[in-house]
Structure formats: structure tokens, C-alpha cells
Structure 1
Amino acid sequence: MDDNIKFELKEQDGVQIVKNVDKEKAKKGKWAGLGIAGALVAKFFVKLKFLLVFLKLGKLASTFGSMLVMIWIYAKLHGWVFGVGFVLLLFMHEMGHYFAAKRVKLPVSTPIFIPFVGALISMKEEPADASIEAFVAIGGPVLGSISALMCLVIYYVTGKSVFIALAYTGFILNLFNLIPVHPLDGGRVVTAISPMLWIIGIPLMAFAALIHFNPIIIMILVLSVIQLYKYYKDSNKKYYEVERSTRIIYAVTYFGLIAILGACSGYIYHVIPNVAR
């Protein structure tokens, strides 16, 4: 027998019990160790949860932080009401893309605002086909156009000219976005109708670049030409295979939205004086 092993003699209910003290201590030590390990694991998950919350808040902070910066810049240029309204119009446009992407389970980032450029969301993975790409793309102009229409309604209710200016700006911005060139929304929508429509959009964008020289327009024009070249060089056109009924739905939505935006912006320009001039 090992002389180092310690025993303890106790009496319980008139019966003498011999306990191995070292064994009992080892058992207690084992449970204590498991308790400490459990506490450490719980602490780790608490910290991990906090980190996940922090990362989510970080994404929201980047969205609303850039949003506030953009509001401040445009407020300095055109007043606080227009500055806030203009950025909200951009926000609603991007949230249209965001909600559409969530609907088809396509992971995307939250909106980021870039002064004098606009706002954007980035896709974390490519769409499976042209139909999904078009669905996400059309979401922005749809919600953006509804937001601009709401500004028009607010103008008629309040009579404040800043809201008719916001409505006109919203209509024009969404109409511009529907030009059928990649990477604008219009270029992505017509991917599901016919990529051949890019051929119409490129001259339109070139004309816009000549009339209003702008580095952003030049960049879009270059990217649209590259996209058209890649389309013709790619022998596999499976990505662009969309059912005829789906093509018709996108065509009606796309051209119908262009007609509505054109009519609304034309109405403001010709009927309501000294607003769009």
C-alpha cells in the first residue's frame, strides 16, 4: 500500500466510514477545474457576442457616419432641409437594393455614402444568374422613385418649394440610373431583358459625357464598354438565359418606370415654374 495515500475515519448514523481523502480532493479538484473551464467558456462567448454586436454596430456606424458627413456637406451647399432630404433619397434608393438582395438571399453590405459621387452597397458574392442581378438592380430605382413621389406629395401638402426641388432631383437621379449601361442599375436590369440594350446605352452615356464632362460619367462609360466587350468574348451565355415570361416582366417594369420618371420630371419642369431651372 502506498504510504502517501491518506484515509479519514468518520462515523455516520452509527456506522464507521473510511474515506480516501486524496481521492475526494481529486474529485473536488476535478469539478472545480470543470467549473473554471465552464466559466472561461462562458466568458469567451460573452466576449464573442459583444464582438459580433460591435461589428454590427461598426457596419451601422460606417453607414450613418458617412450619411451624416454627406448631409453636412450638402446642407452647407443647399441648406439643411435639402441636404437631409437629398441624402434620405439616396438612402431609400440603396435600401431598395438592400431589401431586394435580402429577398433573394444575396449577401450585401449596408449602404456607404460618398460625397459628390452618391451611395452604394457592395455584393459579397455574385448573383447566380441575370434574373437575380436584375431583381436586385430594379429594387433601387423602384423605392427611390416612390420616395421622390412622396416629396412631390409633401410639396402639395406644405407648399414648400424645397420639396418640389427634392422630388425633381429624385426623379432625375433615378432616371439617370436607368440608362442601360453597366454598372448603372439600368445596365444590370437589361441584363435579364437583352444585353444588346447596352449598345443603346453606351452612345447615351457618351453624349452625356460630351454635354456634362464629369470624371464619374467617363468612368461609367469606360466600364460599360469593357462589360460589353466581355459579353461578346464570353462563349458561355448561360448566365443570361432567362425565361421569356420573366424577360417580359422586367421589360414592362423597366420601361414603365422610365416612362413614369420621365413624365414626372417633365411635369415639374414645364408646369411648376422656377423650380427645375
Structure 2
Amino acid sequence: ASLGAVGLLLWKAKAILAFLATKGKLILAGAASWKTALSVFVSFGVYWVAWGWPFALGVVGSLYVHELGHVVALKRYGIPASAPMFIPGVGAFVRLDQRPATPVQDARVGLAGPWAGLGATLVVYSLYLATGHAIFAALTQVGAFLNLFNLIPVWQLDGSRGFASLTRKERGLAAAAIGVAMLATGALGAMQWLLAIPLVAAIARSVMGEAPETGDRFGLAQYVVLFFALSALASVSVPGAAALPGVSP
């Protein structure tokens, strides 16, 4: 079962990266929007002042790829949307001109961002393995954390949309998987308690609010694989972490 999950993870990451590589016009279209370009420039400047330009470039790139994942999924379903927009110090978003037609569509669009983010994080981790440079380890950890945060099933975060197609039982299974991920990966080291936030939120969603009667096992599998993979990447040890702001050793 674990090999199957790894295979699914690699296939999804490869598929998203291949799509982005062959559909580079989406990236150019987003960058061509002056509003997007301005928001990217301002965000990059804020992060540069805080962490230096190499780290700032990696963070902005990770956020941009994450949002492009949503854009790709929205285009697949024929849903008009804006180019990615950045909010300095907060993150980025894509504005939808209409809602997805079904809970399953909503879930696929919601989780497309973390899938793209996972692909980008795997690329950065590969660079760390190839070079041994601490900056790539730090960006791996931060990129994984940013995408984990988005998997919290509350408000308008991606995790909430991913839960839209899950029954109460499936949400309970997702909560159990989050708990196992916490124990199995020890993600974020001393900050492991942060994973309690999505755990509590998932438990709450399994007993509160509306939930569909028809299950979505594929959506559940996607959420669980994403959470385990990103938790593992967030637990990457960063050499010289004390010298890198906001990164745990």
C-alpha cells in the first residue's frame, strides 16, 4: 500500500510539472498581467528585506507555482479566473469568476494548488540532494509548510475545498491520517504542534456542518497522500538552520 501511495505521489507530481512545462504560456500570461507583476515585485521586495534575495526568490516561486496549479485546474473545468495575485507577507490567491459546478470539481481545484506546490518542493529537495546547499533544504521545509498550512480544512483554504466532496466518515479518516502523519514524520521538529491545527479542524469538520452523502475515495486519497508527503518534506533537517530566519532545525 505504501508503494502504491508513493507511486501515486510521483505520478501526480510528474504530471503537474510536465503540464506546466508544456503549457508555459500560462506562466507567461500570469507574468504579463501588470497587477500580477507588481504584486510579485512588491512581495519579492518584502521577503528580500526579511531573508535575502535567494530565499525570497524561492518563496515567491513556490507560491506562484502553487497558484498556477489552481489556474490549470480551473481552465480544465472551463472556469474563468484571474492570474495569481500576491499579498506581501500573507501569500497569494486566484480570484474565481464563478464557483465550481460540483463539490468534486471544487475539491479537485482546491487540491490542485498543493499538488503543484508538492511538485515544486520535490524539485527543490532534489536540488538539495544534488548540491547539499542549505538554502535548498530551507526552501524545501518552508515550501512544504506553506502547502501544509493550505491543507487546513477551514475557511477558504485549499483543505476546506478538498473536504467539500468528502463524507463525514471520509473526513474522520482524513483526521486519523493527519494524526498518523504527525507521529510518523515528526514534521517541523519543535513546531510539530502546528500539525494539531489541521487535526482539530478535520475532526470538527467530520462532526459539524454539511457533508455530502456520496463519497469521494479518490479525493480522500489525494488529501492523505498530500498530507503525508508534505509532512515528510517539512521534516527535512536544515544545516545551519539557526542562521536562516523562520526555519526550524
Instruction: Bin the TM-score by the shorter chain.
Output: 0.5 to 0.7
Q: Distance in 2 between matches of 1:71 and 1:57?
A: 16
Match of 2:140 in 1: 167
Extract unaligned runs of 5+ from structure 2: 1-28, 180-192, 242-247
Q: In structure 2, what is the equivalent of residue 255 of structure 1?
A: 224
Opposite residue 223 of structure 2, the aligned amino acid is Y
Task: Tell me the secondary structure at the aligned position of residue 190 of structure 1.
Answer: helix
CA contact (8 A) 1:96 1:140 kept: yes
What amino acid is aligned across from residue 171 of structure 1 in structure 2? A
Distance 1:62 1:195 in 2: 40
* Residues 1:88 and 2:61 are matched in the alignment: yes
Structure in which a larger fraction of residues adopt strand: 1
Specify which of 78, 87, 90 is matched with residue 105 of structure 1.
78
The answer on 1:69 being equivalent to 2:37 is no
Change (3 A) 1:58 1:157: closer
- The count of corresponding residues between Structure 1 and Structure 2 is 190
Q: 2:89: which partner in 1?
A: 116
Higher RCO, 1 vs 2 (CA within 8 Å, ≥6 residues apart): 2
Matches of 1:158 and 1:142, distance apart in 2: 24
TM-score (norm 2): 0.67
The 8 Å contact of residues 130 and 241 in structure 1, kept in 2 or not, is answered as no
- The answer for unaligned runs of 5 or more in structure 1 is 1-55, 205-210
1:265/1:57 CA distance change after superposition, 3 Å? closer
Is the Cα contact below 8 Å between 1:59 and 1:110 reproduced in 2?
A: no
CA root-mean-square deviation: 3.1
Cα distance in 1 for residues equivalent to 2:30 and 2:113: 24
Q: Which has the larger radius of gyration?
A: 1
CA separation of 1:58/1:84 partners in 2, compared to 1, >3 Å: closer, same or farther?
closer
Q: For 1:241 and 1:144, locate their aligned partners in 2 and report how far apart those are by CA, in whole Å.
A: 30
Given that 1:137 and 1:186 are in contact with CA atoms closer than 8 Å, whether structure 2 keeps it comes out as yes
Distance 1:130 1:74, change over 3 A: same
8 Å CA contact 1:180, 1:200 repeated in 2: no
Q: For 1:154, which of 124, 127, 131 is the aligned residue?
A: 127
Q: Deviations over 1:1-32 (max 9, x none)?
A: xxxxxxxxxxxxxxxxxxxxxxxxxxxxxxxx
Are 2:144 and 2:233, in contact at CA under 8 Å, matched by a contact in 1? yes
After superposition, the Cα gap between the structure-2 partners of 1:73 and 1:58, relative to the gap in structure 1 and judged at 3 Å, is closer
Please state how far the C-alpha of 1:241 moved relative to its aligned partner. 5.7
Which residue of the other structure, out of 225, 228, 234, is the alignment partner of 1:265?
A: 234
The TM-score with structure 1 as length reference comes to 0.61
Structure 1 residues 168 and 69 mapped into 2: Cα distance closer, same or farther (>3 Å)? same
